[in-house]
Amino acid sequence: MKKITLFLITGLLLIILSASAAWAVPDNAVKAGSHDKTIADNEIPVMGNKFKDAANLWCSTSIQRMADIGLVSGYTDGSFRPHENVSQAEMITLLMRLVELNGSAGAATGSDQLQAVPGWAKAAVQQAVALKIISLDQFQPDQPATRLQTCLALAKALEAKGLLEPVKYASPTFADSSRIDEDDLKYIIAMYQAGYINGTPGNRFLPQNGITRGEMAAIMARIQADLDLKMDGADDQAGQSELESYLLSHHATIKYIPVEKLTLNGSAGKASVKVYVNLVTYADEWDDLEKNDIKKWLNYLVRDIHNKLAKQTLVKCEIINTHNNDTVIRYVKKGAGDLAGSYNDLSVNDVFEVEVKVDGDRFDIGGLTFAVVLINYAENDEITVDLAALKYFITSPWDVMKSDDIEDNVVGICEKIAAEFYRLADVEPVTVTISFYDHKSQLMKSYKYDFVKELLVRL
């Protein structure tokens, strides 16, 4: 993916995850001789109820929301038991219900190992195995699910649904990241960047700790909120097509030029919209357009995308000539910010390729590693770059470095980025505006380097 932009993560939340049969699956459920039967099968209605032991917890709202939509439920005594751990079988059953994946159950797969899986969880486990969300070799259905197991399973389920991608680089995000395999860490960081999880006090992930029912309810609520937000609650292809049709009907022409097709891909975090027009048939009309006409039209288009997805969605817009499939205009709008973009002349397609190449590149300053999360080469040969820290830190590099050393580092980064555009796209940047963000997307410092004047200015 991603394909990941600035880390829109606020607040400090404990890593969420944990489930149990008492929510939507038979909790430790209906054991022989037990009088504490669960309500997983909706024997007792929970809509609107308040659980007596979850009224004043950090996860209370999440628990009740998940109960209200029927994804979790409590016990017959009116409790939810938010601090109890959830088993691996319960965790898989819950997450498969949350993301509603379709796929073969693979009944013959690992049939001997499946014998240990409770009957109520077997279909979900088989489906998760078939979709490569879990491996039966490492699955112990009656054992507590760990934070790492649950986060990986959720990330892979979201990946299978097209809602999440592992990050490119597994740079440490948590203080105990070294305890996590690098391939697994890429999924953990993706979940972190998506805002679904965060560290415990001390910025630790605690990968082998068990997951509680309250934590699971919280992460499910976050993911469900994202699903509700996206495409007016429809995260499937039909919902996306509906939104595309809506946008096309409300933005059918760019002043005099009809839009032949419009496609939209992405989510509430980041979306890409492609607009197709025939610039052979309407060549004269295109020539008569002012850049402000196009920007005004794009602003209205992005406004409607924000209304349907989220106000802070980063939207990348391309206008494409259907005659030769060339991109003639590309603009980016991040939240409430201004449109920033490129109006095609000679080498815009090469410029786009360089932007894609540079996106994700990493640079070090003061012992911290920053990655490019947004880059744009504008029509006036100005480059805008956002760099985000890849790990938590207490002391800013600017607090411990001399100003001359900082400036040398920043200039060096600007020169390296500009050199890529010059080498690969044969364009000559005039300025680079570069902003540094911490791991929570808080702006730290911004600079502008003028190549003509060889002057770096702090903004």
Average per-residue pLDDT for the chain = 75
* pLDDT value, residue 376: 79
Q: Which has more confidence, 404 or 42?
A: 404
Burial of 158 (C-beta count, 10 Å sphere; 0-12/13-18/19+): buried
Q: For residues 141-146, give the mean pLDDT.
A: 91
CA angle, corner 317, sides to 245 and 265, nearest 5? 55
Q: Are the CB atoms for 71 and 231 separated by under 8 Å?
A: no
Q: For residues 343-372, give the mean pLDDT.
A: 71
**pLDDT, tens only, 219-261:** 888 888 777 655 444 444 555 677 788 888 888 888 888 888 8
* pLDDT value, residue 198: 73
Residue 106 has pLDDT above 50, yes or no: no
* pLDDT value, residue 6: 26
Residue 41 has pLDDT above 90, yes or no: no
Closest residue by Cα to residue 71 from 114, 14, 21, 16? 21
pLDDT confidence band for 151 (50 / 70 / 90) = very high
> Which stretches within 212-308 are classed as H helix?
213-229, 237-250, 283-288, 291-308
Predicted structure pTM score = 0.46
Domains in the chain and their CATH numbers? 60-229 (no CATH), 236-344 (3.30.70.2960), 356-459 (3.30.300)
DSSP β-ladder status, 326-334 and 314-321: antiparallel
**For the ranges 156-165, 252-261, 283-292, 448-457, the one whose mean pLDDT is highest:** 448-457
* pLDDT value, residue 101: 66
**pLDDT, tens only, 405-459:** 889 999 999 999 988 888 777 778 899 999 988 877 778 889 999 998 889 999 8
13 CB contacts (<8 Å, ≥6 apart)? 58, 197, 198, 218
Q: Give the H/E segment covering residue 152.
A: helix 147-160
pLDDT confidence band for 302 (50 / 70 / 90) = confident
Residue 346, Cβ neighbours under 10 Å: how many?
Answer: 10
> Which stretches within 255-402 are classed as H helix?
283-288, 291-308, 348-358, 397-400
417 CB contacts (<8 Å, ≥6 apart)? 358, 361, 372, 375, 383, 385, 432
* pLDDT value, residue 339: 61
CA atoms of 140 and 166, how far apart (whole Å): 25
Residue 13 has pLDDT above 50, yes or no: no
**For the ranges 27-31, 151-155, 229-233, 296-300, the one whose mean pLDDT is highest:** 151-155
C-alpha pair distances (Å), 399 with each of 57, 85, 173, 178, 404: 37, 42, 21, 26, 13
Burial of 413 (C-beta count, 10 Å sphere; 0-12/13-18/19+): buried
* pLDDT value, residue 390: 80
Residue 42 has pLDDT above 70, yes or no: no
Residue 146 has pLDDT above 50, yes or no: yes
The pair of structure tokens assigned to 283 is 């060549």
Residue 207 has pLDDT above 50, yes or no: yes
CA atoms of 85 and 250, how far apart (whole Å): 50
**pLDDT, tens only, 259-279:** 888 888 877 677 888 899 988
* pLDDT value, residue 21: 35
Least confident of 99-113, 132-146, 198-212: 99-113
Least confident of 207-216, 380-389, 445-454: 380-389
Contacts of 111-115 spanning 24+ positions with Cβ under 8 A:
113/137, 113/139
CA angle, corner 19, sides to 47 and 96, nearest 5? 85
C-alpha pair distances (Å), 350 with each of 175, 380, 422: 40, 16, 10
Instruction: Tell me the torsion sign for CA atoms 107, 110, 111, 114.
Output: negative
Q: Are the CB atoms for 2 and 193 separated by under 8 Å?
A: no
CA atoms of 185 and 179, how far apart (whole Å): 9
DSSP β-ladder status, 314-321 and 382-389: unpaired
* pLDDT value, residue 107: 44
* pLDDT value, residue 237: 53
* pLDDT value, residue 434: 93
CA atoms of 291 and 297, how far apart (whole Å): 10
83 CB contacts (<8 Å, ≥6 apart)? 212, 213, 214
Q: For residues 198-215, give the mean pLDDT.
A: 84
The pair of structure tokens assigned to 312 is 């802070």
pLDDT confidence band for 144 (50 / 70 / 90) = very high
